[in-house]
Structure 1
């Protein structure tokens, strides 16, 4: 076998392992779509707080506790990308949830830090870039008044899967 064929075989083995892992996560109802990081974050918050997840087609919010609604955003850091910017943030007039549930994962999916950020606090923390709001979830956000640090709660929930 040539070196190129060997690398191709290794790549195929890795892709197969990835496929098996994705299938197993779907079977266990840990993920629901192809957005593995986002789905895992939603499932983790729902388990940690006993929230009900909304349907995948609901763009307004991801979960509810029966009183408040929550939009879950996450980011998985990697050795090549340490950005903590959370994507897909709606403009202020389109915010249709009460609280942002945010989590930053390490590359191995362990919870680095997590928080609940009420919308009035969130709007004060966001910045704009080329007309779209953005939110960079740095660890310092955990010290902002009104933000609830839920890191330990999410880490505990990780141990229940």
Structure 2
């Protein structure tokens, strides 16, 4: 990242655009949205051998060889925003496990977990005006007996 401070705003945005386009060319990202969700899906599917569903699939993002359905969420914990709130969850009946990962500022994996849908549901808050559930990926979730720590599995594919 040589001399970023000498680049104009337009040049910095062009670098950002080029980096995202290269990640799409490598089939890591699937959309033109914020890369956090796509990156989470990519890492989980690579680490566990799941089949990624179409972007338009409702309620789950991937399916495992065992037929289990996975809703995949990612959150970038930024130095300016430390929130661990995942994006809205609308239907806990549509998946078997919530696969969730926290990234740091530079999109490095901090922690990841496979959380049974029942555990995620019981630890979520319903928000009426959005007709969705809010789930915070707090450290306490890894202490639940049915939650699997997936951090090392995701880190194995992170550098590939």
TM-score (norm 2): 0.89
Counterpart mapping for 1:116-155 below 5 A: 116-130=114-128, 132-155=132-155
Q: Paired residue for 1:4?
A: none
Displacement of 1:130: 4.2
What corresponds to 1:59 in structure 2? 58
Deviation per CA, 1:127-149: give whole Å up to 9, x if none: 23445321000122111121101
Unaligned runs of 5+ in 1: 1-6
Asked if the contact 2:59–2:91 (Cα under 8 Å) also holds between the matched residues in 1, the reply is no
Whole-angstrom CA distance in 1 between matches of 2:133 and 2:37? 19
Which of 13, 16, 27 is the equivalent residue of 2:14?
A: 16
- Counterpart CA distance in 2 for 1:21 and 1:29 is 13
Any idea what SS the aligned residue of 1:14 has?
Answer: helix
2:86 aligns to what?
Answer: 86
| SS of residue paired to 1:86 | coil
Instruction: Name the counterpart of 2:42.
Output: 43
**CA distance 1:64–1:91, change in 2 (3 Å):** closer
TM-score (norm 1): 0.88
| Larger of the two Rg values belongs to structure | 1
Per-residue CA deviation, residues 5-57 of structure 1 (Å, 9 max, x unaligned), is xx9x6111110000110110010000000231100100000000011100111
Q: Number of residues paired by the alignment?
A: 152
5 Å-filtered alignment, 1:2-13, equals 10-13=8-11
Q: Deviations over 1:79-114 (max 9, x none)?
A: 11110001121154xx30110000010010001100
